[in-house]
C-alpha cells in the first residue's frame, strides 16, 4: 500500500501523459508555451503500463486518471487505456481533457475501457474562450462534450476555473447550461500553479464568491459529508436535485486530510501532491532494469514522505517549480 505518516492511503493515481497542450489557458501557461520535455525523457507507452501495473498489483491503487498537458495529444492514448483496462485487478479509468479532438476519439476510448471523463470548459462565450485560452476552439470543446456523452462516458463532468475580469460572472449561466445538458459542473478555485507565477490571492474568485453567485439563481443544499469521502469537490444539491454542482476549494477550504492521491509526471517522477517541492525518480530505476518490487519500494518510500498539506494560504508557501501542465492536474 501507499501509506504516509499521517495515516492516509493513496489509491488514486494521476498519470500525466504529456506536458504539451493545444490551448494556452491564462491560469496555466504563458502565450508562447513552455520548454516541453524532450521525447526521450518521456515515459514510453510500455513504461506507463508497467508502472500502472505495479501500482494496481502491489500498491493498492484502484483508480487511474490520465491527464497532462493535454492527454488527447498523446498518440498511444487509446492503446494505453486498453492495456490498463486489461490489468488485474482492473482499475477504474478516467481522463481529464480540454475536449479538443474528443469528437473523433470518444467512441474508441470508451470501447478501450475508459469509464469516465472530465472536460474543462470555462465559458459559454466563444469570445471569452478565446481570451481565456488564446485559441479559437470553443466549438471543438462543445463537440467533444457531446461526443463524450454519446459514447456513454457518463457522468460527464465539466471543470471550470473562474478568472477575475474574464468569466467571473458566468457561474449561474454555466450551471443552467450544465443542468440542461446533463453535465456535472465543478468549479475549481484558481491555484498558484501557473508557469508565469501570476496567481494572486487578492482578487481570486473563491468558493464563497462562487456559491454566492450561484445562490442568486439556484437553491443549493449541501450534500451530506458521508457522500464526499476523499473527493476534492464539495457538492451541493441544485434546486432539490437530482442535479449536483461541485466546488473544489483547494485554496480556501483545503481537503488535504482526506487526500488519497499519488501522481506520476510524464517523465516518470512520483509526486506526492500537486504542491510538492520534491519528486522521486521512477524512470531511472525502470531504465536501469529494476524489478517490479524495487520500483514499488521506491514509490512507497516517496509516499511515506508526503507532507500534511499543501498550505497555499500559509505565509511560508512556496510555489512548486513545475507548473500544473507539467505535473498533471
Ligand atoms: N489539459 C487538460 C484540461 O485542461 O482539462 C488536462 C490538464 S489541466 C492541467 C487539468 C485541470 O487543471 C483543468 O481542469 C484546468 O482547468 C485545471 N487547471 C489548470 N491550471 C489551473 C490553476 N492554476 N488553478 C486551478 N486549476 C487549474
Ligand atoms: Fe492546456 Fe489544460 Fe493547461 Fe488549459 S489547463 S493550457 S487545456 S493543460
pLDDT above 90 covers a percentage of the chain that reads 82
Q: Which atom of ligand 2 is nearest to the CA of 24?
A: 6
Q: How far is CA 187 from CA 129, 162, 232, 278, in A?
A: 16, 7, 11, 28
For residue 205, report the distance from its CA to the centre of ligand 2, in Å: 19
Question: Closest residue (by CA) to atom 3 of ligand 2?
Answer: 28
pLDDT category at 315 given cuts 50, 70, 90 is confident
For residue 251, report the distance from its CA to the centre of ligand 2, in Å: 19
Substitution candidate for ligand 2 out of 16, 24, 70 with most atoms within 8 A of CB: 70
Whether the predicted pLDDT of 224 surpasses 90? no
Q: Which atom of ligand 1 is nearest to the CA of 119?
A: 5
- The C-alpha atoms of residue 177 and residue 171 are separated, in whole angstroms, by 10
pLDDT in tens, 113-152: 999 999 999 999 999 999 999 999 999 999 999 999 999 9
Q: Which atom of ligand 2 is nearest to the CA of 22?
A: 1
Q: What is the mean pLDDT of residues 310-321?
A: 80
Q: What residue spans define the domains of the chain? A: 12-327
Q: Which atom of ligand 2 is nearest to the CA of 98?
A: 7
Query: According to the model, what pLDDT value does residue 108 have?
Result: 98
Question: Closest residue (by CA) to atom 4 of ligand 2?
Answer: 25
Q: What is the mean pLDDT of residues 263-278?
A: 94
Q: Smallest Cα–Cα separation from 129: which of 55, 26, 201, 213?
A: 26
Residues with CB under 6 A from ligand 2: 21, 23-25, 28-29, 68-70, 98, 120, 325
The pTM score is 0.96
Kindly indicate whether the domain formed by 12-327 is annotated with CATH number 3.40.630.30: no
- The C-alpha atoms of residue 15 and residue 269 are separated, in whole angstroms, by 10
- The C-alpha atoms of residue 253 and residue 312 are separated, in whole angstroms, by 10
Whether the predicted pLDDT of 261 surpasses 90? yes
Query: According to the model, what pLDDT value does residue 320 have?
Result: 85
Residues 119, 327, 190, 207: what is their CA dihedral angle, to the nearest 10 degrees? 70
Q: Smallest Cα–Cα separation from 261: which of 271, 251, 249?
A: 271
Substitution candidate for ligand 2 out of 17, 21, 121 with most atoms within 8 A of CB: 21
Amino acid at each position: 500500500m501507499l501509506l504516509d505518516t499521517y495515516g492516509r492511503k493513496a489509491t488514486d493515481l494521476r498519470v500525466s501523459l504529456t506536458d504539451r497542450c493545444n490551448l494556452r489557458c491564462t491560469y496555466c501557461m504563458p502565450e508562447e508555451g513552455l520548454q516541453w520535455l524532450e521525447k526521450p525523457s518521456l515515459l514510453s507507452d510500455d513504461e506507463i503500463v508497467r508502472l500502472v501495473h505495479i501500482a494496481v498489483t502491489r500498491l493498492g491503487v484502484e483508480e487511474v486518471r490520465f491527464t497532462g498537458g493535454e492527454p488527447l495529444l498523446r498518440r498511444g492514448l487509446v492503446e494505453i487505456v486498453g492495456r490498463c483496462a486489461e490489468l488485474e485487478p482492473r482499475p477504474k479509468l478516467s481522463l481529464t481533457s480540454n475536449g479538443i479532438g474528443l469528437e473523433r476519439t470518444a467512441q474508441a476510448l470508451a470501447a478501450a475501457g475508459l469509464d469516465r471523463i472530465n472536460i474543462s470548459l470555462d465559458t459559454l462565450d466563444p469570445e471569452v474562450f478565446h481570451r481565456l485560452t488564446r485559441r479559437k476552439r470553443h466549438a471543438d470543446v462543445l463537440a467533444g462534450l457531446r461526443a463524450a456523452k454519446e459514447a456513454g462516458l457518463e457522468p460527464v463532468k465539466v471543470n471550470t476555473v473562474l478568472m477575475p475580469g474574464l468569466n467571473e460572472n458566468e457561474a449561474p449561466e454555466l450551471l443552467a447550461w450544465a443542468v440542461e445538458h446533463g453535465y456535472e459542473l465543478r468549479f475549481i478555485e484558481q491555484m498558484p500553479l501557473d508557469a508565469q507565477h501570476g496567481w494572486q490571492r487578492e482578487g481570486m474568485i473563491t468558493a464563497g464568491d462562487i456559491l454566492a453567485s450561484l445562490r442568486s439563481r439556484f437553491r443549493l443544499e449541501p450534500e451530506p459529508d458521508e457522500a464526499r469521502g476523499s473527493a476534492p469537490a464539495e457538492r451541493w444539491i441544485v434546486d432539490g436535485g437530482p442535479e449536483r454542482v461541485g466546488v473544489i476549494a483547494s485554496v480556501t477550504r483545503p481537503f488535504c486530510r482526506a487526500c488519497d492521491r499519488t501522481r506520476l509526471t510524464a517523465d516518470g517522477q512520483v509526486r506526492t501532491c500537486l504542491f510538492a517541492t520534491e519528486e522521486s525518480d521512477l524512470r531511472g530505476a525502470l531504465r536501469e532494469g529494476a524489478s517490479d518490487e524495487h520500483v514499488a519500494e521506491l514509490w512507497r518510500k516517496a509516499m511515506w514522505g508526503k507532507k500534511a498539506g499543501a498550505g497555499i494560504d500559509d505565509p511560508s508557501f512556496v510555489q512548486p517549480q513545475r507548473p500544473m501542465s507539467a505535473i498533471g492536474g
